[in-house]
Amino acid sequence: MTQPVLTVPEPLVRGPLTRTDIVRYQGASGDMNPIHHDEGFARAAGFTEPFAVGMFPAGLLATWATDWLGAENVRRYRVRFREQVWAGDTLTCSGSVARTYEVDGVWHVDLDLVCTRQTGGVAVQAWATFVLPR
């Protein structure tokens, strides 16, 4: 099979995020740490207000990738948490192809992924590997 040509889709833009978006993710994931929804708890920990679970922007970025290359085709997804995400933020999820390569007749693609805030700051950075169906 010849090397596949991939067309990178438009970025996924989400926002402005609401407290409800953050809490909906908490409920779905089961991570009910009060620092992500309880004003008093967040302030006592030294923050101005609650902020999003890091896995929330990580999940949005994964959504951009699986909506492009297929939910069943992901083989690896690694994310690094860089900046906190707050209610009111607008996030942009996008990525690029790092390389495509063949293993035992199956084409794989490695992606460099990034989720940025409206400030330009990087919320999460990720690396993913997908297989490409024939």
Partner 1 sequence: MANPAAVGHEGEPFRLDVERGKIREFARATGSSNPAYLDAERPPVPPTFLTTQFFWQDGGADAWQRVELNQQRGMHAEQEYVFHGQPPVAGTSLRCRSKITEMYEKRGRRGGVMTFVVMVTEFRDETGRLVAEAKMTGVETGRTPGETS
Tally of CB atoms within 10 A around 76? 11
Please report whether residue 9 would count as binding partner 1 according to CB under 8 A: no
Is 86 among the residues that bind partner 1 (CB under 8 A)? no
Candidate list 11, 19, 55, 122; residue touching partner 1; CB under 8 A: 55
When binding is defined by CB under 8 A, the residue of 6, 19, 38, 81 that contacts partner 1 is: 81
Nearer Cβ to partner 1, position 3 or 71? 71
Residues in contact with 107: Cβ distance below 8 Å, sequence separation at least 6, in sequence order: 1, 3, 4, 100, 101, 131, 132
Name, in order, each residue with C-beta under 8 angstroms of 134's C-beta and a sequence gap of 6 or more. Answer: 1
Using the rule CB under 8 A, which residue among 37, 52, 79, 116 binds partner 1? Answer: 79
